Structure 1
Amino acid sequence: MTANDTVQGVTPPLVSVLIPAFNHERYVRRCLDSVLEDPYPAKELIVIDDGSSDRTGVLIADWVAAHCMDIPIEYVRREHRGIAATLNELAARANGEFLRPGASDDYLLPGGLGAQVGYLLAHPHKVAVIGDSMVVDRDGRKLHDSGMCDLHGADKSLYRTDDGIRRAVIRQWAIGGPVVLIRKCALDTADRWSEGLRIEDWDLFLRLAARSMLGFIDVKVCAYRMHDSNVSKTRHRGTRIANLAESRQVAMFRTGLFEEPYRTLLRAQSHYIDAKISFLERRPWPLLCHLATYLALVARARLPSARAHAEGT
């Protein structure tokens, strides 16, 4: 579905494109240009420079001065507060019915906004929809056609049902880049980004998936840029352990949102994360214990569906 398909005979809903920018002087202009390049007709751009120490803020200001007549723009430059706090502030400043969070090192692909708006208009019970991404390197050369499949090895067929989405979000986080469109009304109530987290998106999507409010379209909606500063791809051992520990904390905290067997699957995932931490810390016995518990919990989570299948046959 294209942008025009969503607006036959009616005024298209406003989309607020939200860009939290931080130390991305090399990439930020491409990010901002991509907002103009997308053909969706009703959009605004809100950018916050989250205390960059390089020339990111200057480049944004120059771009805004050059394009302020092309699209409604709000630009704020302030001290560093972190990604989740910045996303929440961006959402609070937005006027759109739909919010499209971005990232200042990635960029939108033309047609993505219209396809995602079309999905949410056709599925009013869904709060958010995710798409796929193309993966590029620091110079914009394509590395992978599909971030979900080629980078994360995801099975896209899981995303066709609410059950599959819950299992995929819990067990194989395969969302590469900023690929979500979300209704602003959801963030006006409770579903904001959890401040203090560095890997804040998994926490948000767990909350949405638990209530069957997350949808999927098999459309590439952004280019996800791989470079040395990606938070999720760091090779620094201490940072990886800290990120994993945060993920484990999120998993344990959100188990109460899910019914069985998803609650057990999320408990299993927390042990799998603990096994990764033990591996990085070179502790073989805790590693084996967590892996054994993980496998036992995964097997237990499969039993109800296996029994139901046996009874049906």
Structure 2
Amino acid sequence: MTAHDAVQDMATPLVSVLIPAFNHERYVLRCLDSVLEDPYPAKELIVIDDGSTDRTGARIADWVATHCMDIPIEYVQREHRGIAATLNELAARANGEFLRPGASDDYLLPGGLAAQVDYLLAHPRKVVVIGDSVVVDRDGHKLHDSGMCDLHGADKSLYRTDDGIRRAVIRQWAIGGPVALIRRCALDTADRWSEGLRIEDWDLFLRLAARGVLGFIDVHVCAYRLHDANASRTRHTGARIANLAESRHVAMLRTGLFEEPYRTLLRAQSHYIDAKISFLERRPWPLLRHLAAYLALAARARLPPAGPHAEGT
């Protein structure tokens, strides 16, 4: 190694790309190929097959055998433990200064890693930076230019200040796909994924937003794939109620992390979630009661009421 190479290596932090894989045999090869296609030079790939029952594991194994000389790779197959436990295990196995959690049905977009690393290097107080995504269908055809705006109706201007990020994370969680780059040192302490949750990301980002350590860049860093098996977009009423009930629990659990007016706003959001549960359960009086509580608390927080796209999770 030349002196120039050594300086370049020191200036290029290692990024660990973390892929939890489960029953995505149709999509996983595109995901893995995208890691190689991103031109960022200092990266490793860590993949865990979380007990897939289809051919996901075999496809990953074949890909690893083909590309094991192209990039440092660690591949683990084990029984099913769930997404949060798998992400925590991936993070524990990582060697990089920065961690890039992925998803085996989505894929990275070239240039995203460098843009996010540059942001965190320039903003040492920030622990995580999120970007935007394009939205594609099961065949990879583009559906939307912006996961945040077109899929979730987000106001991107909110994400440019700590105050706006807190408001956005509480009221309009608009992150489509795996778009975060995380400092590994954050996960060495308390900011790990809460195991046992169905939709684990809102809980993590509430904790980050409360501390003011979450940043944003308006760059498309991944392609988020919509298909019939997206856990967070199920049309099954029972599953939707279960997801909402979990979100309500998370909202109540994390209220104490925030100062005012965000604490009151999160309490308002818990009533908004309860209103949606009551609607799905066809209970009109609890629906009206929770909507009234939501509006009263939102007014007390001196913030405008949520728009039609505000899901809170």
Which band: TM-score by shorter chain?
A: over 0.9
In the TM superposition, residue 228 of structure 1 has moved relative to its aligned partner by 0.2
Residue 306 of structure 2 corresponds to: none
Structure 2 residue 153 is the aligned partner of structure 1 residue 153: yes
Amino acid at match of 2:84: A
Is 2:48 aligned against 1:67? no
Report the secondary structure of 1:216's partner residue: strand
1:225 correspondence with 2:211: no
Question: 1:174 is matched by which residue type in structure 2?
Answer: A
Match of 1:186 in 2: 186
Residue of structure 2 in register with 1:310 after alignment: none
Q: For residue 210 of structure 2, what is the aligned residue in structure 1?
A: 210
Runs ≥4 residues deviating over 6 A: none
Residues 76-128 of structure 1 show CA distances to partners (whole Å, capped at 9, x for unaligned) of: 00000000000000000000000000000000000000000000000000000
1:31 and 2:31 equivalent?
Answer: yes
Deviation at 1:18, TM superposition (A): 0.1
Match of 2:237 in 1: 237
- Measured after TM superposition, the shift of residue 9 of structure 1 is 8.5
The aligned counterpart of 1:292 is 292
**C-alpha distance in 1 between matches for 2:9 and 2:49:** 38
Q: What are the Cα deviations for residues 12-66 of structure 1, in whole angstroms up to 9, with x where unaligned?
A: 0000000000000000000000000000000000000000000000000000000
Structure 2 Cα separation of the partners of residues 9 and 248 of structure 1: 45
**Which runs of no fewer than 5 residues in structure 1 stay unpaired?**
1-6, 304-313
Report the TM-score when normalising by structure 1.
0.94
One-letter identity of the residue aligned with 1:29 = L
Q: Which amino acid aligns with 1:61?
A: A
Structure 2 match to 1:173: 173
The answer as to 2:79 corresponding to 1:79 is: yes
- What does residue 124 of structure 1 align with? 124
> Does residue 94 of the first structure (1) align with residue 94 of the second (2)?
yes
Q: Give 1:270's aligned residue.
A: 270
The equivalent of 1:136 in structure 2 is 136
Q: 2:143, 2:137 → 1: CA distance?
A: 6
1:105 equivalent in structure 2: 105
* Residue identity in the other structure for 1:169: V
- Aligned length in residues: 297
State the distance in 1 between where 2:73 and 2:295 align: 50
Gaps (5+ residues) in structure 2? 1-6, 304-313
Q: Alignment identity in percent?
A: 89
TM-score after normalising by structure 2:
0.94
Distance 1:196 1:141 in 2: 33
Residues of 1 paired with 2:156 and 2:302: CA distance?
A: 20
Give deviations 1:130-166, integer Å, cap 9, x for gaps: 0000000000000000000000000000001000000
SS at match of 2:29: helix
| Cα distance change of structure 1 residues 194 and 158 upon mapping to structure 2, 3 Å threshold | same
**Distance in 1 of aligned mates of 2:31 and 2:8:** 29
Alpha-carbon deviation of 1:198? 1.0
CA distance in 1, matches of 2:173, 2:155: 11
What's the secondary structure of 1:177's corresponding residue? coil
